[in-house]
Amino acid sequence: MHTADVLTADHVVKVFGSGHTEVRAVDGVSVAMKRGELVLIMGPSGSGKTTLISMLGGLLRPTAGTIVVDGEDITALGERDLPRVRARKIGFVFQAFNLLDALTVEENILFPARLVRDGVSRAQARADQLIDRLALSKRRRALPQTLSGGEKQRVAIARALINAPPIILADEPTGNLDSANGQEVLMILHDVARDEGCAVILVTHDPRVEDIADRILWLEDGEFRDRKREHHAWARDPVCGMRVDEWTAAITTEHAGQRKVFCSKRCLERFEADPARYLAAQSTS
Ligand SMILES: Nc1ncnc2c1ncn2[C@@H]1O[C@H](COP(=O)(O)OP(=O)(O)O)[C@@H](O)[C@H]1O
Ligand SMILES: [Mg+2]
């Protein structure tokens, strides 16, 4: 059973609106994933990545096509049964963390266990283990607003893992983090695929993950395209110096008629505060 596909999508389509305003956000995508696999989805802004990953996780219904999650056809499930499958089979990690402000770190991590039968009785030991593993022991009773971005995302990852789902879906989980915290979150997700035997699907613009991913799927205009690694057009983040793929870059600005790309919002903010400083540094390097 371990080698069987844990997630399959077959000719999945999502159309928003109709007539003049119709958008085919995802246009006939098929994919199959096994446990232990880390798969990247990369593509330009607006190419359908969030729409696709939302459908794979049962948060959004496809217009057409079939999605089978751990043996269960979620496209055939009614609204009443879908939350149960989501809670047991899928862990979500979002760019905006989506933690519950009024709950402590530990309570946030334990929250999804309430949605699963027998979940709560097993969850405490699992939470202790995850808190330890994700280096959150000192923040166990803290509220989300007192955490750093990196800590928030580690809490979100622990929460995603609490019910030991076979699938983890992460939509730009490093988008609100600085470079070092982003790197740490990516490595944790990589280790999760290996150690927990999860299928991890990661939407990211971060080229550093390409080396650790098992597969990269390039999405463009709602379809998977063949794209070779060599086709990268590398640019440098003028603030931190990290290489960024021009094609998929999400955080960009125009400066003196030139397009500048950034690894994170933080680097963009630093640049905008004092462009001359970073442009001078770039031209001498
Ligand atoms: N709820 C929605 N209603 C209408 N159009 C949408 C909706 N969600 C996404 N879209 C459109 O679908 C396309 C793909 O969006 P999205 O999946 O968010 O792309 P990405 O995550 O790659 O940036 C875009 O053209 C976007 O404007
Ligand atoms: Mg998106």
pLDDT tens digits for range 116-133:
877 777 899 999 999 999
Q: Are residues 243 and 198 in the same domain?
A: no
Distance 129 CA to ligand 2 centre (A): 31
Q: Are residues 120 and 241 in the same domain?
A: no
Task: Give the pLDDT band (50/70/90) at residue 2.
Answer: very low
Residue 85 and residue 72: Cα distance in Å, rounded? 8
Task: Give the pLDDT band (50/70/90) at residue 115.
Answer: confident
Q: Are residues 213 and 92 in the same domain?
A: yes
Residue 229 has pLDDT above 70, yes or no: no
Q: Are residues 191 and 67 in the same domain?
A: yes
Angle of the 149-161 helix axis to the 119-133 helix axis, nearest 10: 140
Residue 162 has pLDDT above 50, yes or no: yes
Chain mean pLDDT for the chain: 90
Identify whether 231 is part of a domain: no
Q: Are residues 177 and 241 in the same domain?
A: no
pLDDT, residue 248, reads 74
Q: Are residues 217 and 247 in the same domain?
A: no
Residue 75 has pLDDT above 90, yes or no: yes
Residue 75 burial (CB count, 10 A): 19
pLDDT, residue 233, reads 74
Identify whether 22 is part of a domain: yes
Residue 37 and residue 280: Cα distance in Å, rounded? 42
Identify whether 53 is part of a domain: yes
Task: Give the pLDDT band (50/70/90) at residue 154.
Answer: very high
Q: What is the mean pLDDT of the segment spanning 4-13?
A: 95
**Ligand 1: which of 51, 54, 247 to mutate, most ligand atoms within 8 Å of CB?**
51
Distance 143 CA to ligand 1 centre (A): 32
Q: Are residues 211 and 280 in the same domain?
A: no
CATH number at residue 94: 3.40.50.300
3-state secondary structure the chain: CCCCEEEEEEEEEEEECCHHHCEEEEEEEEEEEECCCEEEEECCCCCCHHHHHHHHCCCCCCCEEEEEECCEEHHHCCCCCHHHHHHHHEEEEECCCCCCCCCCHHHHHHHHHHHCCCHHHHHHHHHHHHHHHCCCHHHCCCCHHHCCHHHHHHHHHHHHHCCCCCEEEEECCCCCCCHHHHHHHHHHHHHHHHHHCCEEEEECCCHHHHHCCCEEEEEECCEEECCCHHHCCEEECCCCCCEEECCCCCEEEEECCEEEEECCHHHHHHHHHCHHHHHHHHHHC
What is the reported pTM? 0.83
**Ligand 1: which of 23, 45, 60 to mutate, most ligand atoms within 8 Å of CB?**
23
Total domains in the fold of the chain: 2
Task: Give the pLDDT band (50/70/90) at residue 231.
Answer: low
Position with higher pLDDT, 209 vs 255: 255
Q: Are residues 62 and 152 in the same domain?
A: yes
Which residues neighbour 18 within 8 Å (Cβ) at sequence distance 6 or greater?
none
Distance 204 CA to ligand 2 centre (A): 9
Residue 262 and residue 243: Cα distance in Å, rounded? 9
pLDDT, residue 283, reads 61
Q: What is the mean pLDDT of the segment spanning 89-115?
A: 95
Residue 59 and residue 74: Cα distance in Å, rounded? 10
Select from 198, 226, 254 the last residue of a domain.
226
The domain of 243 spans 236-284
Residue 154, ligand 1, Cβ within 6 A: no
